[in-house]
Amino acid sequence: MDQGFELPLYLDLFAVFLMAATGAIEAIRRKFDLVGLLGLSLATGLGGALIRDGIFLQSGVPAVVRNPQYLYAVAGAALACLVFGRRALLSERLVALVDAAALGAYAVVGMEKSLAFGLDFAAAVLVGTVNACGGGILRDVLMREEPMVFRPGQFYGLAALLGCLTYPFLRQSLGLPPLSAALGTILFTFCLRVLAITRNWRTAPVRDTGLFRRRRPSVHVLTARGKTGLPKAGSPPGGHDL
């Protein structure tokens, strides 16, 4: 994979704008004031990038702080949500659709920046997935909710993970140009997330799987020695004959 390639800045700003918009929409739905709306938009839009650059890559001052265009993207998303379609913003499905588009974009950005930094494939997938889900995690935590990525649900973290795997597959295996592979990954992740929502594809809680289900004692085990486990008629509570 060509390590010298760098994704266009507008793709990164596009991801920030969409993710910040989900924070702004949630702030409006919950009747936050202007400070709350801007704060939630900022945390949601830039949270994943700050985790990526500040914790994983540690490549100096995070890009979202060095370049003011990221802050402009957050402010633009908040303003757009304030001005346009306030009634439509009350729809939870709209939040999910915008979030689905941002998920794929941020997965691509996180993967590409990690590979350009010199991380191996597995580490780049980890960083890309966290980059995609980090803003949503911060948004949910600030709203005192269990993060969506940790709950059984409609392929949120799984969609981000598959998006991170799709991007290098399109570039290496199919030989697509980097930008085409990026756009294809965004489209794939978006469609997967939308299909999961519309068709109600859901992950199951771990404790509901076969590994955690209690097994009832077998009747054959209890009767192997001629005992059923039940006291005979006329026997004392201990179950032994006098």
Enclosing domain of residue 76: 9-208
- Higher per-residue confidence, 115 vs 91: 115
What are the start-end ranges of the H helices in 84-119?
92-117
Pairwise CA distance, residues 35 & 173, whole Å: 47
18 domain residue, yes or no: yes
Residue-by-residue DSSP string for 144-180: T---GGGSS-SSSHHHHHHHHHHHHIIIIIS---HHH
56 domain residue, yes or no: yes
Q: Residue 41: CB partners within 8 Å, gap ≥ 6? A: 20, 21, 23, 24, 27, 74, 75, 77, 78
Q: Given pLDDT bands bounded at 50, 70 and 90, which one contains residue 202?
A: confident
117 domain residue, yes or no: yes
Specify the number of domains making up the chain: 1
* Closest C-alpha to 72, from 97, 117, 110, 41: 41
229 domain residue, yes or no: no
Amino acid in position 82: L
60 domain residue, yes or no: yes
Q: Are 82 and 24 in contact (CB under 8 A)?
A: yes
239 domain residue, yes or no: no
Report pLDDT digits (tens) over 37-89. Answer: 999 999 999 999 999 999 999 888 888 889 999 999 999 999 998 887 566 56
120 domain residue, yes or no: yes
Q: pTM of the entire structure?
A: 0.78
3 domain residue, yes or no: no
